[in-house]
Amino acid sequence: MSVPQPPEPIPGARLLFSLDPAVSHLNHGSFGAVPIGVQRAQQRLRDEMEANPLRFFTQGLVDRIAHTRRHLAGFLGADPDGSALVGNTTTGVAVVLQSLGLQPGDEVLSTDHGYGAVSLAIQRECRRTGAVSRVLPIPLAASDEQLVQIIRAGLRPGRTRVLVVDQLTSATARLFPAAAIVGVAREHGVPVLVDAAHAPGMLATTVASIGADFWVGNLHKWAYAPRGTALLAVAPQWRDRIEPLVVSWEQESGFPARVEWQATLDYTSWLAAPAGLFTLRSLGVDRVRAHNAALAAYGQRVVGDALGVPPAQLPDPGRPGVSLRLIPLPAGMAVTIDEARALQARIGERLAAEVAVMSWNGRGWLRLTGQVYNTADEYERLAVRLPALLAQR
């Protein structure tokens, strides 16, 4: 089977970023990359803030935040009045978990594809409240139908107080059928919290079409916003129960202001986020999505071939449009988190290539991303040099 052809580069896209040209940045999924124009928009806001801090914070800032929220929520297909800006997806998850009023004997259900920090948040809330965390194992190669059936069988109506699932998993680059999962959970009366950290900007699915009780996604990964920008969307029946992690002066205003307002927080990342959407729209949203997904698939195949992985053993994300791809590492390599981090650092230092190395279910995985600033030769160079580095273990 021949290697697929890489997509045509988007002219001028690489010049929009200030990334070090001596490094191949193949891990956009972890921290994103902020376009230069967005960096400058945020700096102008910081200059405004520092020129007169009192005026910046006390004259209209709450309204400016609300205006920004409406803009971002509109792009994502979420109800602006039922959404709140938060620092990142993990923060949004923590807000929801501590607002549920969990009690001893309640159960928080999740899957073994969940993000590590979210799993830690669940464990902490369970320790605090006496609730129980239960994790459903789901095979990496499970079909959407099998995945939904596993979750259906795992629900315990009357005991499962919330189901936490990913829209697109970080560790395994797998797209979950979020809307179908929500439908099954609703049949059993179980609320659903969707971790959509990678969805905004990458996936075309709207928040409203998923129908989750809680949905939270980062805009600083694939929507080019400054870091520290995420949206938490909450269904109407839950909004009065959502409490911030820290009480501030907008507490009596209710949701979403009570969650958004955190006194002297640096709000410039949120206020500059629409500039990120402007960049994405200027390049062409559909064009960027198609380019990134095709480039990630090309990189997966090229590097997979170099490591001797048959195409049939390269994990499929579930459907087209996903800009994250996994490649299995040799058996016995990066089987722990510490080993994965050490290997990731070695690849960065020795090969000048920033990648993600994941440890999942006792197996090491290389995760690659595709972004408009990447070119096919970056994956080809990694494919040439990576096998020798792995052989040195």
The answer to whether residues 305 and 379 belong to one domain is yes
Nearest partner of 35 among 52, 57, 10, judged by Cα:
10
The answer to whether residues 331 and 222 belong to one domain is no
Residue 224, pLDDT > 80, answer: yes
**Average predicted confidence (pLDDT) for the chain:** 96
The answer to whether residues 188 and 315 belong to one domain is no
The answer to whether residues 247 and 370 belong to one domain is no
In a domain, 3, yes or no: no
The answer to whether residues 296 and 269 belong to one domain is no
pLDDT, tens only, 148-190: 999 999 999 999 999 999 999 999 999 999 999 999 999 999 9
The answer to whether residues 322 and 242 belong to one domain is no
Q: Please report which confidence band the pLDDT of residue 263 belongs to, taking 50, 70 and 90 as the band edges.
A: confident
Give the Cα separation of 3 and 249 in Å (integer): 57
Residue of higher predicted confidence among 2 and 221:
221
The number of distinct structural domains making up the chain is 2
In a domain, 347, yes or no: yes
Q: SS3 letters for 345-372?
A: HHHHHHHCEECEEEEECCEEEEEEECCC
In a domain, 2, yes or no: no
pLDDT, tens only, 294-345: 999 999 999 999 999 999 999 999 888 999 999 999 999 999 999 999 999 9
The answer to whether residues 61 and 161 belong to one domain is yes
In terms of phi and psi (left: phi > 0; alpha: psi -120 to 50; beta: otherwise), the region of 97 is: alpha
Domain CATH for 92: 3.40.640.10
- Token pair 């990066």: residue: 334
Residue 143, pLDDT > 80, answer: yes
- Mean pLDDT, residues 134-144: 96
- For 154, the token pair is 């795992």
Domain end position, chosen among 278, 312, 338? 278
- Mean pLDDT, residues 112-131: 97
Domain end position, chosen among 250, 278, 306? 278
The answer to whether residues 102 and 222 belong to one domain is yes
Q: Please report which confidence band the pLDDT of residue 4 belongs to, taking 50, 70 and 90 as the band edges.
A: confident
- For 310, the token pair is 């048959």
Domain CATH for 316: 3.90.1150.10
Residue 307 belongs to domain spanning? 14-33+284-391
In a domain, 1, yes or no: no
The answer to whether residues 119 and 265 belong to one domain is yes
Q: C-alpha distances in angstroms, 153 versus 112, 161, 190, 191, 391?
A: 15, 15, 13, 16, 43
In a domain, 9, yes or no: no
The answer to whether residues 243 and 312 belong to one domain is no
pLDDT, tens only, 60-91: 999 999 999 999 999 999 999 999 999 999 99
Q: What is the pLDDT of residue 364?
A: 97
Q: What is the pLDDT of residue 2?
A: 65
Assign 3-state DSSP to the chain and report helix, strand, coil percentages, each to 5: 45, 15, 40
Q: Kindly provide the residue ranges of all beta strands, DSSP E only, lying in 257-382, ordered along the sequence.
A: 324-328, 353-354, 356-360, 363-369
In a domain, 314, yes or no: yes
The answer to whether residues 330 and 224 belong to one domain is no
The answer to whether residues 268 and 353 belong to one domain is no
Span of 20-34, 59-73, 102-116, 316-330 with lowest mean pLDDT: 316-330
SS3 83: strand
